[in-house]
Structure 1
């Protein structure tokens, strides 16, 4: 009888624990809801939340807007969510609101883009400086002779993008490449503007050796991007204008498959969304998590793009 009673108590405890987990609500805040890159983080978050028995709430600014991102995080604090993961658009702007959340005993981590001077408890995402380096390495592999280049970023206050720029410059400038006037351009995650900026660089610098953005924004405007490549296709086919681009979303993989890119250096946003839920649940339970949680990179060429498209 005593053993049966103990078993029943254990079952009740397990049920109570499961019910508590099911009630946890964790927020995932992207830089912009209009950026398809973050759709993969959303999917990873939703899938992992279902596995863990928690709720993933995905909400961010309609478009890249740091002030709106801060307001959304304040709203989540007021709602009393059980944890927040945020991709930081402006590292300085979130320091205060992250402290507000921590003061309210809400676990906070960053994903994709960090704010390491804040009191966030952990980061999960890419080693962005290494991503910049890899973009540079792949460009040199495709174009061994040093030349001129231009690059493009999203927003000037995003620490992850600034780290990528630093890695790219380390490799390219170290190998004798020269950056043209007006670079980097900032598109504020606007795909149409990003594609236009690439075209503008090519027009202003007809002998440029490469235009290598550190984010895949232009490829999310496929018609405009392909028009840009078509205008420079003779140089591409002659090996004088390599197309090394970031990220491996389906539209980008299709771009490479169709000959409008030669190399993609991709992040793993789906995995970031999954790990964000795992980490927030652990923190909510009072467990410790590593401060830095780096996910890997994928290099895709025509030789393996079919595997990624599957």
Structure 2
């Protein structure tokens, strides 16, 4: 049955500079236009001169280049001082030394995408004790470790979108596999569990998840894991890769193999990295939020905390520049908005 379906990316080392404003990418953004920097419930003002540091899972990862540059744009708006530091490999403990250094430097705000939910908690708590406000974004720590978590979308929203896309791509039946990032990645594991639950719904009764493999957010390993999946499961119908590195590497493998047009692929990717694979028929569609807006929101959330506009409690409200007003939810979570699905009809409308 595979041959009648269009397969559903590649994260090259050189994804272009971000576009910090993407109309329509984040449905949660306010339509009321810009508000004064830091306005919270109409009367909060962000303190000028805040030092804001971004610590991604790994530097030189195009996804985090985009998100961190979104943070940089926000920091410029509220006249703070921005820096980005981080490891070149996304291992569990690789961020600890950077957190320690930022604490010693007296950073006001640290925005970190955690490689592991627990490995950096000690260093995060030391930073907080030293006066820093710590906001996790993209991937959370244990909630007790940080002040706020800026989430891309709800985990349920990601799970529903990913399962729906792969099911449609394989015609509603067949074996699928998941190509994830690192085995300890907080967000990846949460999404995978929710995807498994989603697959239990009656409409997906004929879709069988056979395995989950890990590419460690490394292009070559993700490429090899894709190759290994197809060797181990020659009757595989589709692959879901909820990581920008993984889905791009998988697309690169499929596009040059006998499986192009036969094995479906979808996942979370950026339009710039995925465009060629959509246009050459390797991928039908994929999804993502605007990572620039994610970093932008994380910077404003951290600045609102550091300025005393919010305390990080449920119900607290603050304004994030051009994105409008946000409300802190349960467990100190702020949600950016639902994912956008990209396909041949709209992929050229975006540049990030």
Normalised by the size of structure 2, how large is the TM-score?
0.75
Larger Rg: 1 or 2? 1
User: Structure 1 pair 171/19, CA: closer, same or farther in 2 (3 Å)?
Assistant: closer
Shift of 1:52: 0.9
Higher mean displacement: 102-111 or 249-258: 249-258
- Residue 111 of structure 1 aligns with which residue? 137
The CA distance in 1 between the partners of 2:345 and 2:266, in whole Å, is 15
Q: Deviations over 1:117-164 (max 9, x none)?
A: 323111112223421221101111222332111111111211101111
1:192 to 220, 225, 230: 220
The CA distance in 1 between the partners of 2:247 and 2:183, in whole Å, is 20
Larger fraction in helix: 1
Shift of 1:189: 0.8
- Residue 161 of structure 1 aligns with which residue? 188
The CA distance in 1 between the partners of 2:92 and 2:253, in whole Å, is 31
| Residue segments in structure 2 that go unaligned for 5+ positions in a row | 1-44, 313-327
Larger RCO, structure (CA 8 Å, separation 6 or more) = 2
The CA distance in 2 between the partners of 1:68 and 1:292, in whole Å, is 24
Higher mean displacement: 35-44 or 162-171: 162-171
| Residue segments in structure 1 that go unaligned for 5+ positions in a row | 1-17
Normalised by the size of structure 1, how large is the TM-score?
0.85
Shift of 1:202: 1.1
User: Structure 1 pair 254/56, CA: closer, same or farther in 2 (3 Å)?
Assistant: farther
Is 1:294 the counterpart of 2:322 in the alignment?
no
The CA distance in 1 between the partners of 2:188 and 2:90, in whole Å, is 14
1:146 to 173, 183, 187: 173
The CA distance in 2 between the partners of 1:140 and 1:104, in whole Å, is 49
Checking the alignment, whether the CA contact within 8 Å between 1:268 and 1:295 is kept in structure 2 is no
Q: Deviations over 1:214-265 (max 9, x none)?
A: 21213555xx84343332446x2xxx53222212241123322332211111
Q: How many residues align?
A: 284
Other structure's SS at 1:32 match: coil
The CA distance in 1 between the partners of 2:148 and 2:217, in whole Å, is 25
Q: CA RMSD in A?
A: 2.1
